[in-house]
Amino acid sequence: MLTKGKELAGATSAELDVVLLGKTVGDFTKLLSAYANRVLVVEDKKLKNFNSSTYLEVLLPLITEHTPGLILIGHTGFGMDLAPRLAIELDMPLITDCTDLTIEDGNLFATREMYGGKINAKVSFCKSQGYIATVRQGIFSPEEGTLKGEVVSVAFPLTEEIEEKKFLEYVEAAVGDVDITQADTVVAIGRGIKEEKNIPLINEFAETVGGVVAGSRPVIDSGWLPKERQVGQSGKTVKPKLYFAIGISGSFQHVSGMRSAGLVVAINKDAGAPIFSVADYGIVGDLFKVIPTLKDKVKETKS
Ligand SMILES: Cc1cc2nc3c(=O)[nH]c(=O)nc-3n(C[C@H](O)[C@H](O)[C@H](O)COP(=O)(O)OP(=O)(O)OC[C@H]3O[C@@H](n4cnc5c(N)ncnc54)[C@H](O)[C@@H]3O)c2cc1C
C-alpha cells in the first residue's frame, strides 16, 4: 500500500506520511521510515488492541491538522470498521476494497471488482478536499524502501477510557494445518481430479515442487480437502510465486482468488477452458498422464 501511496504522492507532488498506532511499535517505525516521508507514531497502552472508537479519537485531530488529500487504509477487518466511521466524521467520500488507484489529469480514480469479480469498475470520487480508500490486501507488489522518513512522536490525545466499545479477547482465525496464503507454490486441484482416492497423486507432485495443496470449491464441498484450503471468492485469496491449476475450469469465482499469482500453470484436458486465459503456461491434456510426467521431469531436473 505504501508503494502505491508513493506512486500517487509522486504524481501529485505530495508527500507520503504513515500513521502508526500501538503500544510498543519501535521496530515497525524503523521499517516504515524507508517507505514514507514521515512516520507519525502514537504510542499508548490503550492502543495495544485495535478499537475503532479509540483509533477514531486519535486520527481525527491528526487528519484535521495535516489535511491529507488521500487516506489509504487496508481493507482488513479493522480497516472496514474504521474507514466508514472516519468518512462520516470527516465528511469525506470513501471507496472500499480498491484493487487499483490512479491519478489521471489530476483526478483520482479507483478500480474495484463488481459482481463477485466478473467485471472491474473504474470509479471516480465526488469532489472533496480529501478522499478515503480501503485497499485490498496483497494486491500491490512492494518495491524496496529507499526513503529516510522522519519519525515524529505524537502525544496520545485521550485521557478518558472509551466506554462505548471494549476489547474483550483476540481470537486467532483458524488457518488449519497449512496456511495457503503464505505459500510460495500452490498446487490447486479441481473437479477434474474426479475422486478423493486420486489426491495422493497430487500430494506427491506438490511435495516434489515444494508446494502446498489447495482446491476449488467442489473439491472442498466434497470434503476431500479442508475448507481452509479453498481458493476463490468464498475461500482464500492467494498470491504465490507459482500456482498450478490442475483440472480447474477457471470460473471467475475461482480466478478472483488467484489472479495475482506470479506464474500460473494450468493443466486441463479442455483447450477451451477459461483457466487458460489467465495462465502463463497451459498444458492441454489428461492430468492423470501429465502430472506423473511433470513430476518425473521436475525430479530429473532437480537431480
Ligand atoms: C457465490 C459463489 C461463490 C463461489 N466461490 C467459489 C470459490 O471460492 N472457489 C471456487 O473454486 N469456486 C467457487 N464457486 C464455484 C464456481 O462457480 C465453480 O463452480 C467452481 O470453481 C468450479 O470448480 P472446478 O473448476 O474444480 O470444476 P469444473 O468447473 O467442473 O471444472 C473441472 C475442469 O476439469 C477439467 N478436467 C476434467 N477431467 C480432467 C482430466 N482428466 N485432466 C485434466 N482436466 C480435466 C475439465 O475440463 C474442467 O475444465 C462459487 C460459486 C458461487 C455461486
Residue at 159 is within a domain: no
The verdict on the CB of residue 79 being under 6 Å from ligand 1 is no
Q: Kindly state if the Cβ of 221 falls inside 6 Å of ligand 1.
A: no
Q: Where are the alpha helices (DSSP H) in the chain?
A: 2-11, 26-33, 52-66, 77-90, 199-209, 217-221, 252-255, 287-302
Among residues 262, 240, 235, the alpha carbon closest in space to that of 251 is found at 235
217 lines ligand 1 (CB under 6 A): yes
Same domain, 12 and 126: yes
Residue 161 has pLDDT above 90, yes or no: no
Here the cell at position 226 is 479442508
> Measured from the CB, is residue 269 less than 6 Å from ligand 1?
yes
The CA R_g of the chain, rounded to the nearest whole Å, is: 23
Q: Do 255 and 219 share a structural domain?
A: yes
The answer, yes or no, to whether residue 176 has pLDDT greater than 80, is no
Q: What is the pLDDT of residues 195-235, one digit of tens each?
A: 999 999 999 999 999 999 999 999 999 999 999 999 998 89
Domain count along the chain: 2
Of 136, 153, 170, the last residue of a domain is 153
pLDDT, one tens digit per residue, over 69-84 is 999 999 999 999 999 9
For the CA of 248, the nearest atom of ligand 1: 25
CA–CA distances in Å: residue 223 to residues 100, 226, 250 = 35, 7, 20
Residue 138 alpha carbon to ligand 1 centre in Å: 24
C-beta 117 within 6 A of ligand 1: no
Gap between the Cα atoms of 126 and 108, Å rounded: 10
Average pLDDT of the segment spanning 151-173: 88
Q: Kindly state whether residue 147 falls inside one of the protein's structural domains.
A: yes
pLDDT at 121 over 80: yes
Q: Could you tell me if residue 164 is inside a domain? A: no
pLDDT in tens, 19-65: 999 999 988 999 999 999 999 999 999 999 999 999 999 999 999 99
Q: Give the CATH number for residue 247.
A: 3.40.50.1220
pLDDT of residue 139: 82
C-alpha to C-alpha distance for 20 and 17, rounded to whole angstroms? 10
pTM (2 decimals)?
A: 0.70
Relative to beta strand 100-104, strand 107-114 is antiparallel
One DSSP character per residue, 192-209 reads GG-SGGGHHHHHHHHHHH
- Which of 134, 153, 172 is the C-terminal boundary of a domain? 153
249 lines ligand 1 (CB under 6 A): yes
Domain range for 290 is 180-302
User: What's the 236 CA to ligand 1 centre distance in angstroms?
Assistant: 15
CATH classification at residue 22? 3.40.50.620
Residue 172 within any structural domain of the chain: no
In a domain, residue 249? The reply is yes
**Same domain as 104, residue 228:** no
Q: 153 and 139 in contact (C-beta within 8 Å)?
A: no
Neighbours of 298 (CB within 10 A): 14
Q: Does 18 have pLDDT greater than 70?
A: yes
Kindly state whether residues 144 and 185 are assigned to the same domain: no
Over residues 173-202, mean pLDDT: 91
Q: Within this chain, do residues 47 and 106 fall inside the same structural domain, yes or no?
A: yes
Q: Is residue 216 within 6 Å of ligand 1 at its C-beta?
A: yes
Least confident of 12-21, 146-155, 168-177: 168-177
* pLDDT for position 67: 96
Residues 76 and 212 in one domain: no
167 within a domain of the structure (yes/no): no
- Model confidence at 273, pLDDT cuts 50, 70, 90, reads very high
